[in-house]
């Protein structure tokens, strides 16, 4: 569709453009370009497929190539721009005070029983060794885990006491 406004100025008329090779006996018109008359009385040329317009017919004719249906559109080159997030992920240093794997969170540990916690403790020790973390970081992980194991053990003792009291 030809432009209805150009730079905010309304297009009043759109007419056929006679090609340079056109003669009175054999009139030839551009098929895909129109002469546009704007409200401010300027004239320019517009593409019939879109709202592209220019004062030079040559520019419009060059533009028309973008609408050519015979040629398949060039395949889109994949963006090689690396995402900031992924770049950061690889360079982000390990947080020194939380070196344990994802599973070592208070929320998930609280739901484990003592046996599972012991298993987890062994797994954490193994994992941290495999990751070759600094001894200080491993100690911090063990200390944190020990704290949670201690709390869980206390909670289990409390529950056992409550159950015993209820059974009595």
Q: Is 61 in the site for Zn ion (CB under 5 A)?
A: no
Among 50, 59, 112, 123, binds Zn ion (CB under 5 A): 50
**Which span (35-43, 49-57, 121-129, 148-156) binds Zn ion, by CB under 5 A?**
49-57
Q: Is 44 in the site for Zn ion (CB under 5 A)?
A: no
CB 2 → Zn ion: shortest distance, Å?
Answer: 9
104-109 long-range contacts, CB within 8 A, separation 24+: 104/141, 104/144, 104/145, 106/148, 109/145, 109/148, 109/152
* Residues 25/31, Cβ–Cβ less than 8 Å: no
- Closest residue (Cβ) to Zn ion? 47
Enter the DSSP assignment of 65: G
Q: Which is nearer to Zn ion, 66 or 158 (CB)?
A: 66
Among 35, 49, 61, 98, binds Zn ion (CB under 5 A): 49
Please give the structure tokens belonging to residue 126: 């193994």
């Amino acid at each position: 569709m030809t432009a209805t406004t150009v730079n905010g100025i309304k297009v009043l008329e759109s007419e056929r453009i006679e090609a340079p090779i056109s003669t009175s006996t054999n009139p030839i018109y551009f098929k895909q370009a129109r002469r546009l008359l704007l409200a401010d009385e300027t004239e320019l040329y517009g593409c019939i497929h879109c709202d592209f317009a220019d004062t030079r017919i040559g520019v419009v004719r060059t533009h028309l190539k973008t609408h050519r249906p015979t040629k398949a559109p060039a395949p889109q080159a994949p963006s090689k721009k690396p995402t900031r997030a992924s770049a950061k992920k690889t360079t982000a240093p390990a947080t020194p005070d939380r070196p344990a794997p994802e599973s070592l969170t208070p929320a998930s540990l609280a739901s484990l029983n003592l046996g599972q916690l012991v298993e987890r403790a062994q797994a954490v020790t193994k994992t941290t060794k495999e990751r070759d973390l600094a001894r200080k970081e491993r100690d911090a992980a063990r200390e944190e885990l020990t704290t949670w194991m201690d709390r869980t053990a206390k909670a289990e003792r409390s529950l056992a006491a409550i159950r015993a009291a209820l059974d009595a």
